A and B are shown apart, each in its own frame.
Chain A
């Protein structure tokens, strides 16, 4: 997508930010999308359990969670493909109960794209316009414009079966964007792409959505994608919202042990917090001032586990090391009985050999007392 490097080139009036703002979403403070106490049950199991969520116009919200946490069901409820058992879905303030999917004016990009196999690329992209009765010339212009936008100019006559995974993804995006949806939803948008392409597309999409002023609700299980794409991240667990905040907030202060572990942090132990210190199986650790006190769970980010000078600190044996490029992930087994293993990130030249005896100290700025 060359466009993303040059945001102003060829930006068509029809998709300028002002044109993309749907009526009714402009009032200050009013959420474009609001879910109120939405519950969906499959059999006895709640896929969504009293979910409240709001998305403001022009905002990109990413729902993050492991598989089975209810992310896709959330999108299906908003799209009208799955009626909620209880609760309401409001779009621009209007209750969507009983409104069928085709009258909601949304865009949804399916996990595996779901391009129409019997139509070519143009036939897929202009589908939403055709069912709305747009004229041939208008459709052709819009298709050309969108294919340009997603970096596939002139691909209109190609068969969808002949497209690569990345190209299909772009066509699916163009198809979802073509009718100017007031809200664009993405279901695991990069799930099937290889890593390099995925990282490039995330960056490109973020730039594109910023330029078009698109309101986006995406779901993914990949924290990297979520953090790169979203203005705001919503972490889900078992159909409930576990935490919400900007990527930075969630990364720096995971709300609980589940969120911390889901983000890949494994140094979580029980702790008794008093003032700026906490008693843990790893010894007495410093904690940031103002942390909640009492019996808590405590997270030490790997970057907060440092080699101690001299013979001080917690004595550990190096149980394993994995080369990660910029750093080495070191797995430490504390000598103290009953202390769980520790994960640490050390620069390559400081990393000790496997089996070595080391002392570690803890940096308070990398320690989080969980809620």
Chain B
């Protein structure tokens, strides 16, 4: 037995080297974190920072001197001001319209229990991963020349801004349902009940308890929608016509058609600044959203609708989903079978010559090209995004946490600029990739990485440190701890992340349109090319190809929906 001294011995003075010597584990953890950051940092420096910097540099560098004055000069032009104005107001209008239509949907899907709810949740997510080119094509089939509305009532919207706005709602409905509805489903209804018991009316309880809890999520969703619509390219390219151009579409026009790099560079910088500001606000709202809320299992909060009012709301939401989200793809599919024979357009896809010399290979070949590119891009995105997420999740300081907002930047920086930047920076040894097939997957992975990080990070951060400690005390080495504790818990998130990365890579258009080789185009590029040609056969082939692309994306997503965890990110 023993000897523990109740009286405390006067403390010996601390050895001077204490801080250096005392935490060997801490230094090693820092080293591991730094090591994990290396691949993402190198990747972003080489394939994002450098191309963008090169393009911007060329725009401002002229005849051996810098010309910062161009900024004011370009932004002073009336037509550029029109573009800026249109970009901003259509993004604001799209965001408002999306919130208006999707918030009731978020509520219904979060709080009402009805048959087919799970399926519906999956279905409304599909549009988000559809390639913008497909979305544009689908709306063209619905509201464009010779579209469904044109045939029925002679209504055409494709020359109005409404087509763009509706397509943006279609695309972003899921962002609101996921971000707001996901939280709504987990808010403890007893909080509202407590307010009711304390004397608040139903509306008062909602306004004072639920709304403040939801507000940060609504703000975050609104900012994401604003970001996506502000930088919209594929949709505007197809539906906007010559009258309407967003910044991104204008950058494409200046770069590819007018070869005016200096104007394009100014526009790129402008978009960069706008996106950076939006992301900063987004990071702030995300942090506010993490403030302590009482969250409960979503399964316990949903109830069957009661009373005429709730059934009406459910009916209205289902109707709006049917009209807005289901009708356009349905029309697209119907049109793709609308040739002289049902499969005319699909048959034509097998023939390179059918579209009058648009392609060097049969358009169907682009399906395989796209799948291969997307798989390679997914692998890259998982590697880079996985490293970044792992580094960011390890008891990171405030500075490192800020980095995860930075990783979102590729979503907002002009893809056109990135694509063109690839061509002018990756053309000399040791990195001469201009003729390599890897160029396309690298560009596509850039947009995949933010999704991987967004999906993985919350899951990794949610792994309780003490679970790792429990494993360590039981005798598991650090590597073993990772394999036995972390990996099984994040395995599903990895699959979900992979699915998102795959879908966005498959649909990437802005950068790919520059760098895909003519003999090896991707599916979205082929669709855009077909739409750019006259004739019913080309149009029909675009519909058919879009349908194939849509089915591939939808199948990938619906498979994922079965694996999805509630924690896996906010998309």
Does any Cβ of A come within 8 Å of B383's Cβ? no
Given contacts A59-B1, A131-B475, A131-B480, contact A118 B488 (CB under 8 A): yes
Establish whether residues B23 and A83, one from each chain, have CB atoms under 8 Å apart when the complex forms: yes
Binds A, one of B6-14, B186-194, B508-516: B6-14
* B interface, size bucket: 35 or more
Question: Are the C-beta atoms of B473 and A49 separated by less than 8 Å?
Answer: no
Given known contacts A50-B11, A128-B475, A131-B476, is B6 in contact with A83 (CB within 8 Å)? no
| Residues A83 and B22 in contact, CB atoms below 8 Å apart | yes
A59: shortest Cβ distance to chain B, in Å? 7
From A105, which residue of chain B is reached at the shortest CB distance?
B475
**In the assembled complex, B45 has its CB within 8 A of some CB on chain A:** no
Q: By the criterion CB–CB under 8 Å, are B473 and A232 in contact?
A: no
* Cα distance, A86 to B22, chains bound together (Å): 8
Given contacts A39-B11, A83-B24, contact A53 B4 (CB under 8 A): yes
- B3 to chain A minimum Cβ distance, whole angstroms, is 6
Residue among B476, B478, B480 facing the most chain A CB atoms (10 A cut-off)? B476
Whether B11 pairs with A52 at a CB distance below 8 angstroms is no
B101 to chain A, nearest CB (A): 38
Q: Cβ of B473 and Cβ of A79 under 8 Å apart?
A: yes
B23 and A179 contact, CB distance less than 8 A: no
Please give, as numbers and ranges, the residues of chain B lying within 8 Å of A52 by CB-CB distance: 3-5, 9
Q: Is A31 in contact with B464, judged by CB distance below 8 angstroms?
A: no
Report A296 CB to chain B, min CB distance, Å.
17
B12 contacts A86, CB within 8 Å?
yes
Distance between A311 CB and nearest chain B CB, rounded to angstroms: 44
Q: Are A241 and B5 in contact (CB under 8 A)?
A: yes
Cα A53 to Cα B464 with chains together (Å): 30
Which residues of A have CB within 8 Å of B25?
83, 100
Per-residue interface assignment for chain A, residues 224 to 248, with 1 indicating a CB less than 8 Å from any chain B CB and 0 otherwise:
0000000010100000111110000
Q: Which one of A108-116, A208-216, A270-278 contacts B?
A: A108-116
**Chain B residue contacts of A240, Cβ below 8 A:** 8
| Contact A81–B4 (Cβ < 8 Å) | no
CA distance A83 to B21 in the complex (A): 11
* Alpha-carbon separation in the docked complex, A107 to B467 (Å): 14
Residue A98 at the chain B interface, CB threshold 8 Å: yes
Chain A residues touching B, majority SS: mixed
With contacts A83-B22, A86-B12 taken as known, whether A114 is within 8 angstroms of B2 at the C-beta atoms is no
A104 CA / B488 CA spacing, docked (Å): 25
Complex interface bits, B8-42 against A, C-beta within 8 A gives 1, otherwise 0: 11011011001000111100000000000000000
**What is the CA–CA distance of A116 and B470 in the complex, to the nearest angstrom?**
9
With an 8 A cutoff between CB atoms, is A54 at the interface? Answer: yes
Given that A37-B9, A50-B11, A241-B8 are known contacts, is A110 also in contact with B470, CB under 8 Å in the complex?
yes
A255 within 8 A of B: yes
**A84 to B18 alpha-carbon distance, docked (Å):** 10
Do B466 and A102 touch across chains, with their CB atoms under 8 A apart? Answer: no
Partner among A81, A100, A128, A244 whose Cβ is within 8 Å of the Cβ of B474:
A128
List of B residues within 8 angstroms of A31 by Cβ: 2
Q: For residue B115, give the distance in angstroms from its CB to the closest CB of chain A.
A: 27
B-chain residues with CB within 8 Å of residue A110 when the two chains form the complex: 466, 469-470
* Alpha-carbon distance between A50 and B4 when the two chains are bound, in angstroms: 11
Cβ contacts under 8 Å, B471 to chain A: 116, 127, 131
Candidate in B6, B15, B488 with the most chain A CB atoms within 10 angstroms: B6
Q: In the complex, A244→B4 CA distance in Å? A: 7
Interface size range of chain A in the complex: 35 or more
B160 lies within 8 A of chain A by Cβ: no
B519-556 interface code vs A (CB 8 A; 1 in, 0 out): 00000000000000000000000000000000000000
Residue of B nearest to A242 (CB): B6
Cross-chain contact A116 with B14 (CB below 8 angstroms): no
**Residues of chain B with a CB closer than 8 A to A241's CB:** 4-6, 8
Interface: B477 (CB within 8 A): yes
Chain A 61-97, CB-CB to B under 8 Å as 1, else 0, gives 0000000000000000001110111100000000000
| Nearest opposing residue in chain B for A371, CB measure | B6
Query: Is the beta-carbon distance between B489 and A118 smaller than 8 angstroms?
Result: yes
Decide: A101 and B472 in contact? CB cutoff 8 A: yes
| Residues in B whose Cβ lies below 8 Å from that of A179 | 474-475
CB atoms of B2 and A55 under 8 A apart: yes
Across the interface, do B1 and A102 meet the contact criterion of CB distance under 8 Å? no
Q: Is the CB of B469 within 8 A of A49?
A: no
A232 with B475: in contact, given A37-B12, A241-B8, A243-B6 (CB under 8 Å)? no
Distance between Cα atoms of A239 and B372 in the complex (Å): 61
CA distance A119 to B485 in the complex (A): 10
A56 within 8 A of B: yes
Q: Give min CB distance, A49 to chain B, whole Å.
A: 7
19 other A-B residue contacts (CB within 8 Å) besides A31-B2, A59-B2, A83-B23: A37-B9, A49-B11, A53-B4, A79-B469, A80-B473, A85-B14, A85-B22, A100-B477, A101-B469, A102-B472, A106-B473, A108-B469, A110-B469, A114-B470, A127-B471, A127-B476, A131-B475, A131-B480, A175-B474
Chain B positions within 8 Å of A, measured between CB atoms, are 1-6, 8-9, 11-12, 14-15, 18, 22-25, 464, 466-467, 469-478, 480-481, 484-485, 488-489
For this complex, 10 residue pairs linking A to B, each with C-beta atoms less than 8 Å apart, are A50-B9, A52-B4, A84-B22, A102-B474, A102-B475, A110-B469, A110-B470, A114-B467, A127-B474, A179-B475
* A residues apposed to B, CB below 8 Å: 31, 37, 39, 49-50, 52-56, 59, 79-81, 83-86, 98, 100-108, 110, 112, 114, 116-119, 127-128, 131-132, 175-176, 179, 232, 234, 240-244, 255
